[in-house]
Amino acid sequence: MDFSKLSLIEIRDGIANGKFTSEEVVRFFIAKCEEKKSLNAVIEIFYDAVDRAKEIDNKIKNHEKVGVLAGVPIAIKDNILYKGKKMGCASKFLQNFVASYTSTVVEKLLSEDAVILGRTNMDEFAMGSSCENTCYGVCHNAIDPDYVAGGSSGGSAAAVAAGLVPCALGTDTGGSIRQPASLNGVVGLKPTYGTVSRYGIVAFASSLDQASPICKTVEDCQLVLKVIAGKDIHDSTTIDNKLISVHKSKYTLGICRQVMQEAKSTQGGEEFYKLIQKLGDIFDIVQVDIPHIQNSLACYYIIAPAEATSNLARFDGVKYTVRSENAKDLESVYVQSRSEGFGREVKRRIMLGNYVLSSGYFDAYYNKAKRVQKLIKREFTEAFSHCDCILMPTTAGTTFKIGEKLADPIAMYKEDLFTVPANIVGVPAISVPYAKIGKFPLGAQLYADDLNEDVMFEVAKIVEKVGGVK
């Protein structure tokens, strides 16, 4: 049976109903990962997943109570800790690191009897939009290997799109789940900030990071989010997001004037207009204003590097990171190890972060960015008083060729233009595939107000159906 054609829920139900076993499913996906190794999406297969699958099969056979993800294989991004397994953030600096504890998200998946299948490729320390900044070698797009998978959760998106696993966790700091989901034609979610615990996930920008699933369907994402969400005593920033489902007879969809101005000249602009027209029959469509939404990207490239600089300082060559062989004294342990250990993009952001935090510049950059962030948040709140969800493109266009944007960091940063605002204001967003340009898929995003994942999922399911791309 070709399990790669099934959704996570279909697989889950099949296992539960005895149509097939978790072991069969897990062995199938392991074989798939091995077969498509050249994609470079799954960088390590956890072969002990088979043993765990057998355990869960036994539980089912013995009619023991099992979790809502019983027997379903899930891959995790290489920045999520799973005790005893290697975790490297796609950085050669962490090449020998083995997790000494398990992240809350993995604990929660395991407690619902999921099977962790392996870890996926990413941009180093989640910095990048192409999955080219990685010590494992570039991750290829699931549709065409000459093209990028997007990033930073490129491995997770490509793995789901290529049928290597029905679900993979990613992390989204400025679009790192939604952008690669869009470029590979799968569904990618970022929940309200604080919904999912960050404990045991290597921090990039702590105030923006959220882990979340990439799946084939909106419904799959919704289920997995329900499992991994929740207030966590290990993460003070978590909130109690109830994720209650609601159904309305008709939803109001907001179209942001400022986003439309940006979108009209993009490669995906035309398809996006067509989508709005199609959706006009189903939803009430209103125009909303978020006058400073374009400033989100600037805020992001101040706040995220500032936090990243501090978060990445612990990788210093003293403890678990690789120490440079050229280190002679304390200073060279730091300087040499970090110079050799971090890649170009990571160094660029560390320098950027140090610059905006340094005395004399702190007010002009960091504090100002925080003020602008508050302003944009107010504008979003106002916009959501007129609509249930805001529809916008996920990316300006489809995937691009490997190497195409590597030399131009600004072009690469602009990949996040439509995804970054969700992180800056903390609201949930989901990217759903809705069209193709040639063979390449394109995603549309739905933004909802804080804690309104429920409405967002319902609207997303409709967009998913209207788009008709699976």
From 179-187, 356-364, 406-414, 444-452, span contacting another protein (CB under 8 A): 356-364
Q: Is 261 in the site for another protein (CB under 8 A)?
A: no
Q: For the window 385-424, what string marks contact with another protein as x by the rule CB under 8 A?
A: ----------------------------------------
Q: Which of 310, 368, 404, 437 binds another protein (CB under 8 A)?
A: 310
* Strand spans (E) along 191-323: 210-215, 252-256, 284-288
**Least gap, CB of 375 to another protein (angstroms):** 18
Token reading at 67: 């979790």
From 87-95, 142-150, 172-180, 214-222, span contacting another protein (CB under 8 A): 87-95
From 34-42, 313-321, 428-436, 461-469, span contacting another protein (CB under 8 A): 313-321
Known catalytic membership, residue 152:
yes
Q: Which of 6, 8, 66, 87 binds another protein (CB under 8 A)?
A: 87
Known catalytic membership, residue 91:
no
Residue count, binding to another protein (CB under 8 A)? 43
Neighbour tally for 137: CB within 10 Å: 13
Tell which positions 196-225 bind another protein, by CB under 8 A: 198-203, 205-207
Tell which positions 229-258 bind another protein, by CB under 8 A: 233-237
**Least gap, CB of 135 to another protein (angstroms):** 16
Q: Which of 86, 267, 334, 437 binds another protein (CB under 8 A)?
A: 334
Catalytic residue, candidates 22, 152, 337, 431: 152
Residue 181 contacts by C-beta under 8 Å, 6 or more apart in sequence? 150, 157, 187, 188, 214, 394, 431, 433, 443
Find out whether the peptide bond into 152 is cis, omega within 30 degrees of 0.
yes
| Nearer of residues 103 and 195 to another protein, judged by Cβ | 103
CB 146 within 8 A of CB 38: no
Q: Shortest CA distance to 22 belongs to which of 90, 114, 107?
A: 114
Q: Is 171 in the site for another protein (CB under 8 A)?
A: no
Q: Report the alpha-carbon distance of residue 271 to residue 262 in Å, rounded.
A: 14
Q: Which of 57, 307, 345, 449 binds another protein (CB under 8 A)?
A: 307
Q: Is 8 in the site for another protein (CB under 8 A)?
A: no
Residue 163 contacts by C-beta under 8 Å, 6 or more apart in sequence? 2, 3, 4, 5, 32
**Least gap, CB of 281 to another protein (angstroms):** 43
- Point out which residues pair with 286 in neighbouring strands: 254
Which H/E stretch holds residue 42?
A: strand 42-45
**Least gap, CB of 447 to another protein (angstroms):** 22
Q: Shortest CA distance to 117 belongs to which of 67, 64, 80?
A: 80
Q: Is 90 in the site for another protein (CB under 8 A)?
A: no
From 29-37, 92-100, 130-138, 160-168, span contacting another protein (CB under 8 A): 92-100
Q: Report the alpha-carbon distance of residue 73 to residue 68 in Å, rounded.
A: 12
Q: Is 22 in the site for another protein (CB under 8 A)?
A: no
Residue 254 contacts by C-beta under 8 Å, 6 or more apart in sequence? 285, 286, 287, 288, 383, 384, 386, 387, 388, 389, 390, 391
SS3 call for 158: helix
**Least gap, CB of 243 to another protein (angstroms):** 22
SS3 content of the chain, % helix, strand, coil (to 5): 40, 15, 40
CB 109 within 8 A of CB 228: yes
- Point out which residues pair with 74 in neighbouring strands: 116
Q: Is 106 in the site for another protein (CB under 8 A)?
A: no
C-alpha neighbours within 13 Å on the C-beta side of residue 291? 5
**Least gap, CB of 211 to another protein (angstroms):** 11
Q: Is 96 in the site for another protein (CB under 8 A)?
A: no
| Nearer of residues 161 and 424 to another protein, judged by Cβ | 424
CB 68 within 8 A of CB 187: no
Q: Which of 25, 39, 89, 165 binds another protein (CB under 8 A)?
A: 89
Known catalytic membership, residue 176:
yes
Q: Which of 281, 359, 407, 410 binds another protein (CB under 8 A)?
A: 359
- CA–chain centroid gap for 110, Å, is 20
Catalytic residue, candidates 176, 296, 324, 431: 176
What separation, in Å, do the N-terminal and C-terminal C-alpha atoms of the chain show?
A: 19
Q: Is 351 in the site for another protein (CB under 8 A)?
A: no
Catalytic residue, candidates 22, 32, 36, 77: 77
Handedness of CA 443, 446, 451, 457 (dihedral sign): negative
Q: Is 364 in the site for another protein (CB under 8 A)?
A: no
Residues engaged in binding another protein (CB under 8 A): 79-81, 87, 89, 94, 97, 100-101, 103, 198-203, 205-207, 233-237, 306-307, 309-310, 313-316, 318-320, 330, 334, 354, 357-359, 362, 366
List active site positions. 77, 152, 176
